[in-house]
Amino acid sequence: MTNKELQLTAANVRKGIVTAVHSAKSGHPGGSLSAADMFTYLYFEEMNIDPKNPKDPNRDRFVLSKGHTAPGLYSTLANRGYFPVEDLTTLRKLGSYLQGHPCMTETPGVDMSTGSLGQGVSTAVGMALAAKLNGDSYRVYTLTGDGEIQEGQIWEAFMFAGAKKIDNLTVIIDNNGLQIDGKIEDVCSPYPIDKKLEAFNFNVICIDGHDFDQIRDAFAKAKECKGQPTAIIMKTTKGKGVSYMENQAGWHGKAPNDEEYEQAIKELDEQIAKIGEA
């Protein structure tokens, strides 16, 4: 896909996020929107996947370690053709296959059940390790929050992946700077993230998570790297794309009301029109 196509797709993914969360009247828009460009790139460009064959044993895997941003994953999967986009409005409702947090036994395309922070990276390491043991060539991707990396288990997983040279694993850290209680450096600073990961034998790449050239370049470098897992630390804006949500900790886990929803859709439609003209 061209950058323009990716941008258009990401804007539609964002519309799906706010639509789903608005319909659910609860859920997590902030961290879904900050990662929307990354979700889009992974599922539309990077990963070897087939929406018609979501259990293909040779597919690349993705683990959403920051499971609360399920709306981002669901909207991407829907836009990619795993299930109808219309179903996004069933998010979090009784009987829906779109649970509040990702559930691999319910939703096509979800490779791991998550929601309890700090556990997803370990499971991704397991998937990557299985590829090594079985001689398979698929790659494994996982996305963690910058607050999430306060969990000790994350660093156990990093230590293992680095020590065991799990080079078919790419960890993406969404450095949007915010968690629930405020700025990550105020709550309990994980900085410097890059130096810590380097010390754990990671190939560390720092990028702007809203720039598709930089995202493309980072994944190319990740694939070239042998003997080390790669960590892509992406600077992002929490709530990206919806003006009043941007950089607001309060929009971590809150749904827009009807008025706010309409404004969000209006803004995203304007962005789509602008991308179309460019």
Summarize as ranges the residues that interact with ligand TPP (CB under 6 A): 30-31, 34, 66, 68-69, 115-118, 145-148, 174, 176, 178-180, 238, 252
d(CA 30, CA 242): 9
Binding partner of residue 114 among Mg ion, another protein, ligand TPP, none, CB cut-off 5 to 8 Å per kind: another protein
147 binds Mg ion (CB under 5 A): yes
> Token digits for 165?
């040279």
- Residues 211-230 touching Mg ion, rule: CB under 5 A, are none
Closest approach of Cβ 15 to another protein, in Å? 21
Instruction: Give me the residues that bind another protein (CB under 8 A), please.
Output: 24-27, 67, 92-96, 98-101, 103, 113-118, 147-148, 150-152, 179-181, 184, 187-188
Which helix (H) or strand (E) segment holds residue 231: the answer is strand 230-235
d(CA 265, CA 30): 15
* CB closer to another protein, 72 vs 241: 72
271 binds Mg ion (CB under 5 A): no
For tokens 């779109």, name the residue.
Answer: 98
Segment near Mg ion (CB under 5 A); pick from 128-136, 144-152, 210-218, 241-249: 144-152
Closest approach of Cβ 176 to Mg ion, in Å? 4
Map 178-198 to HEC letters. EECCEEHHHHHCCCCHHHHHH
- 94 Cβ contact list (under 8 Å, min separation 6): none
Q: What is the DSSP letter of 86?
A: G
Work out the burial of residue 196: count CB atoms within 10 Å of its CB; fewer than 13 is exposed, 13-18 middle, 19 or more buried. Answer: middle
Closest approach of Cβ 133 to ligand TPP, in Å? 29
Binding partner of residue 66 among another protein, Mg ion, ligand TPP, none, CB cut-off 5 to 8 Å per kind: ligand TPP
* CB closer to another protein, 74 vs 212: 74
d(CA 66, CA 187): 18
